Structure 1
Amino acid sequence: MKIGVIGDTHRNYKYIDKAIDYLKECDLILHTGDNFFDSRYIYKLTGINTIGVKGNCDFEDVEDEIVFEIENFNIFLCHGHKYDVKYGIRSIKRRALELGADIVIFGHTHTPLNLTENDILFLNPGSISLPRGTTKRSFSIINIEDKTINVEYIYL
């Protein structure tokens, strides 16, 4: 299964449109919030099931975190601001352990992260609109095959 992960897009359609060329090859797309409306825009362009959550800059009445299972992996999707991810993953890690998450996908920092701790993958796709800590605009693709997870970052 191929999962596109994007977030902190902030209605920057120029770069969302560039990402679409990669995302249209995915089986599922996840959006980490800021701007939730962009997840609907991505779905409209790709026709691929797109799951998004509310970020700190969103005002839609939607979930701010979702837990679901794919290919026997328990996935925790959120924006991350409620877990102070700009200061580290300690708080979000605690929540992941409570939920029994195998994969934690979040945004908010605008900085790519691919880190495994306590057998939990913590993944932040970065931002295609306002990257921080780098000049590279990014999103990621997760490939799950034979119970193996591989993460690829795409830089625009």
Structure 2
Amino acid sequence: MKIGVIGDTHRNFKYIDKAIDYLRECDLILHTGDNFFDSRYIYKMTGVNTIGVKGNCDFEDVEDEIVFKVEDFNIFLCHGHKYDVKYGLRSIKKRALELGVDIVVFGHTHTQLNLKENNILFLNPGSISLPRGTTKKSFFIINIEKGNIDIEDIYL
């Protein structure tokens, strides 16, 4: 299964449209919020099932965190601002352990992260609109095959 992970797009359609060339190849797309509207646009442009959450810059009445299963992996999707991820991962790690998930997908920092700790994979795709600490506009493609996870960094 191929999963696109993108977030903190902030309605920057120039780069969203560039990402869509990659995302339409996916089986599922995850959007980490800011702007939730963009997840609807991505779905409209790709036809690929897209799950998005509300970020701190969103005003839609939608979920701000979702737990779901893909293949044999439990995934926790959130924006991350409620867990103060700009100041470290302590709170979101605690939540991941409480939920018993295998993968945490979040945004908010605009900084890409791929970290495995306590058998939990923490993924932040960065931002294609306003990356921080770098000029690399980024998102991920997760490939899950036979219980193995491979993360592909995509830079625009």
| TM interval, short-chain normalised | over 0.9
**How does 1:139-150 map onto structure 2 within 5 Å?**
139-150=139-150
Question: Does the residue aligned with 2:135 lie in a helix, a strand or coil?
Answer: coil
Instruction: Name the residue aligned to 1:151.
Output: 151
Between the aligned partners of 1:127 and 1:76, the Cα distance in structure 2 is 19
Q: CA deviation at 1:53?
A: 0.0
Q: Partner residue of 1:51? A: 51
| Aligned counterparts of 1:81 and 1:2: Cα–Cα separation in 2 | 26
AA paired with 2:36? Answer: F
Distance 1:28 1:88 in 2: 28
Tell me how many residue pairs correspond in the alignment: 156
Query: CA RMSD, aligned part only?
Result: 0.3
Q: How does 1:1-156 map to 2 (within 5 A)?
A: 1-156=1-156
Cα offset, 1:46, TM superposition = 0.3
Structure 1 runs of 4+ with >4 Å offset: none
After TM superposition, the score normalised by the length of structure 1 is 1.00
CA drift of 1:30 comes to: 0.2
TM-score (norm 2): 1.00
Structure 2: distance between partners of 1:72 and 1:148? 10
Structure 1 residue 125, shift from structure 2 partner: 0.2
Matched residues in 1 for 2:101 and 2:134: separation? 29
Give, as a single letter, the amino acid of the residue that structure 2 aligns with 1:120: I
- The Cα of 1:124 is off from its aligned counterpart by 0.1
Aligned mates of 2:136, 2:101 — CA distance in 1: 29
2: CA distance, partners of 1:37 / 1:131: 19
Offset of residue 77 of structure 1: 0.1
Which residue identity lines up with residue 109 of structure 2 in the other structure? T
SS in 2 for 1:16: helix
Output one character per residue of 1:55-88: Cα deviation in whole Å (capped at 9) or x when no partner: 0000000000000000110000000000000011
